A and B are shown apart, each in its own frame.
Chain A
Amino acid sequence: MRFVDEYRSPDIARGLAAEIAELAGDGHHKIMEICGGHTHAIYRHGIPDYLPDNVELVHGPGCPVCVVPAGRIDDAIAIAFEPGVILTTFGDLMRVPGGQGSFLDANSRGADIRMVYSPLDALKVARRNPDRRVVFAAIGFETTAPATAATVLRAAAEGIDNFSVLSNHVLVGPAIQAILDAPGQDLDGFLGPGHVSTVIGASAYEFVARDHGKPLVVSGFEPLDVLQAIAWLLRQRQEGRAEVTNQYTRVVPWEGNRAALRAIDATMEPRATFEWRGLGEIPWSALALREEYAAFDAERHFTLPGRRVADHRACQCAEVLTGRLKPWQCAVFGTVCTPENPIGTCMVSSEGACAAYYHYGRLQLGRDAHAAPVPSP
């Protein structure tokens, strides 16, 4: 596949690994990849095999599925059981457990919850079922919010009256701020999320370098992108710099996508506060539909139970999400908490740090079976 395969070349990976090893020198480097998509890519391709031991990758909270509070899942399920409702959502959300089970469990009890690939497909369901109320349970950062926004605008333009959105859209800036503000935070740099940056622009992260003195490199998702971005971060460290730079220039603009930002702004506004599963309440960190689009706001059409469901006592997701604990360091990882029976958010979605590590990264054993890609020095 074009724009994909060329960024997976083992030869170039070896070259980058050598460069990284040289730049890493004798120091220790703790780098957080903010985005769950990066966590997934890192493990899926086996990138840790190309990094020296003194370059440590720490997983961040950029998993919009993982951070949906259990209570909001319950709210969506309550809506699904209202008469005549078809709830639509992305596949990612179907297995996330709320306080009382997941969407799949709700279907087995008679709810009509359907998976869609795009919010536009949810709108299609609404058009095809004029006698049903179709609700789209929206999740995602600013990457996905424009799609929801554009769909709401389309629904309004067509005068569709049986479609509404339950918004769990969250913002990446406040998430990064929460990481930077977390007590005991000792990160040396960040791999900046690639796709959300196509919307908000690489410039959105300037505060990280300017106010906190940490370098951030916006990175693509192919393995060579990630390795190159890590190399750039290490070079900044070596040269004592802290800047925001863009490795993913083929897709990410400095200023962002104006049309996408306009669509979000037209239809949504920030919520004063929003609960993030594992992280607690973060101010101005999520989006709700504006008053003008109340007709498309599920929160105004339905009464939501709105219960706050506390995390399991043994859950240490808050520390994993902020990079203070590695997945395998969590006391319940892989025993009480598994992908089949997730206790907390990090295990819940396949790009959650714990799920990714559990599925792909129990590597030490697997590594023995293959010849090392990088000959030991």
Chain B
Amino acid sequence: MCLGIPGRIVAIEDPEIGLATADVGGVRRKVSIQLLQEEPGGGPGIDDWVLIHVGFALAQIDEQEAAETFRRLEAIGDPYREELDELASSDIE
């Protein structure tokens, strides 16, 4: 549950034990990426986005899925925006 926020890996401090530094909107914190390492030295790298909870990266953010999710959401917004535009531009006499 609970507070997990997206952060961008900006440095790998120790690939063996999975220590990295992540940036969340300008704030930096050391986080452990060991739960995303199938083998030591693996896991997310610089500029990858991860979901951080209590100092641990629990998942890597799949940017393609994110884009897909957002595309679907945007599509829902479009008809509504179009309707608003049409409403604004139409003239009932």
Contact = CB atoms under 8 A, between A and B. Distances in A.
Interface of A: 1-4, 6-7, 9, 11-12, 14-16, 18-19, 35-37, 62-64, 90, 117-121, 140-141, 143-144, 146-147, 150, 154, 172, 193-196, 198-199, 221, 224, 228, 247, 249-253, 257-260, 263, 351
B2 A35 contact: yes
B2 A140 contact: yes
Contacts of A196: 1
Contact of A64 (B2, B5, B38): B2
Nearest to B66: A250
30 contacts: A2-B6, A7-B70, A9-B77, A14-B77, A15-B79, A118-B55, A120-B55, A140-B1, A143-B2, A143-B53, A147-B55, A154-B17, A195-B51, A196-B1, A198-B51, A198-B58, A199-B58, A221-B4, A228-B72, A249-B65, A250-B61, A250-B62, A251-B51, A251-B61, A251-B62, A253-B59, A258-B38, A259-B36, A259-B37, A259-B38
5 smallest A-B Cβ distances: which pairs? A118-B55, A12-B77, A15-B80, A250-B66, A3-B6
Nearest to A63: B1
Nearest to B60: A251
A18 B79 CA distance: 10
Contacts of A263: 35
A117 B24 CA distance: 15
Contacts of A253: 59
B74 to A, nearest CB: 6
Interface of B: 1-6, 8, 17, 24-25, 29, 32, 34-38, 49, 51, 53-56, 58-59, 61-63, 65-66, 68-70, 72-74, 76-81
A1 B52 CA distance: 14
Nearest to B49: A3
Contacts of B36: 257, 259
Contacts of A172: 1
B2 A150 contact: no
Nearest to B1: A35
Contacts of A2: 6, 8, 49
Contacts of A140: 1-2, 54
A135 to B, nearest CB: 17
Which of A19, A141, A249, A263 has the most B CB atoms < 10 Å from its CB? A249
A35 B4 CA distance: 13
Given A224-B73, A251-B61, A259-B34, A150 B1 contact: no
Nearest to A248: B69
Contacts of B38: 258-259
Given A195-B53, A224-B73, A252-B59, A1 B4 contact: no
A146 B51 CA distance: 14
B81 A11 contact: yes
B56 A150 contact: yes
A147 B73 CA distance: 33
Given A143-B4, A250-B61, A250-B65, 12 more contacts: A1-B25, A6-B70, A117-B29, A117-B55, A144-B53, A150-B56, A194-B1, A247-B69, A250-B66, A251-B4, A259-B38, A260-B58
Nearest to A247: B69
Nearest to B75: A15
Nearest to A220: B69
Contact of B69 (A117, A121, A199, A249): A249
